[in-house]
Amino acid sequence: MIFSMTGYGKGSGSKNTTFAEAEIKSVNSRFFEISLKLPSILSSYDYEIREFIKTKVMRGKLNVVIRFKKDGIENGFLSVDVTKLSNEILLIKKVRKIAGIKEDIKLDHLLNNKEIFTSQENEISKSEFEIVRSALSKAIEKLILMKKKEGAELSKDLSSRIEMISKKVSEIEKEFKKSVDDYYDKLKQRIVELTNNAEINEDRLNLEMALIADKADITEECVRLKSHLKFFKDSLKNENEPGKKLNFLCQEMNRETNTISSKSISTSIIHSSVFIKEQIEKIREQIQNIE
């Protein structure tokens, strides 16, 4: 079974007043990359989180964002700076006196000044980190599920194209046997026309045709191409991380097809080879998205 490199997952976890949320986006990449955005309170867990993700995902470029709240406050815990609060109250009283305002000091007046609050970036407890891990696990599960669904669709498309190529190879094998006989008849007729019906040395003609047929023989190439097609189908079903192997098989299939085209004496076989190369190129583009 194959998995796509493209996917999305989101998960959350909570306990009492602690809440964590993880969001993962995955796109195609030749290499495995993790872009991790953490709140500062989780910065010490950067390595642990990356290693945990690596045990679940093997390939692609991942963009991971984790959010954390405690007591409804984003990214950690807040406390009041008593000195700044006192100064703020004195300032408000001074302004009120100068302006001749009799209105009482209200809580809203103080809450609007963010400077009186300070962030306490204490390390979170193990139980709180487990909430983060739980949210991340759920996000990864949803990511993998989406990658699996897209992988199934990719597999259907690839299998369909492999079947089309297999049919064309069978047609090429039949056409090759027919093309040699046709070429022999055309060559014989052409010699008759050029020699004004003079007597033809059949032995010599047969020898020349045997040499031509040997040079144009594509039996080995067809056998190897069919073998590659079989390995390709098997890899779709059974191989772990099949992307690299499938890419290599595409290169080999393309090599055999080019040889078939260059050796052929049949226009029909050349056209079939062009069709096969078109399908191989479409397959190659598709497998760039396989994990």
- For residues 125-145, one letter each, b for 16 or more C-beta atoms within 10 angstroms of the residue's C-beta and e for the rest, the string is eeebbebbbbbbbbbbebbbe
Close Cβ partners of 112 (under 8 Å, ≥ 6 residues apart): none
Q: Which pLDDT value is given to residue 39?
A: 86
pTM: 0.67
Q: Give Cα 280 distance to the centre of its chain.
A: 18
Contacts 24+ apart (CB under 8 A), 102-107: none
Structure tokens belonging to residue 25: 């986006």
Can you list the residues of the chain whose pLDDT is less than 70? Answer: 72-81, 105, 107-123, 179-214, 216, 239-241
Q: Which pLDDT value is given to residue 235?
A: 86
Which value, in Å, is the radius of gyration of the alpha carbons in the chain?
36
SS3 119: strand
Instruction: Give the alpha-carbon dihedral of 174, 176, 178, 183, to 10 degrees.
Output: 170
Q: Which pLDDT value is given to residue 288?
A: 86
Domain ranges across the chain: 77-120, 153-287
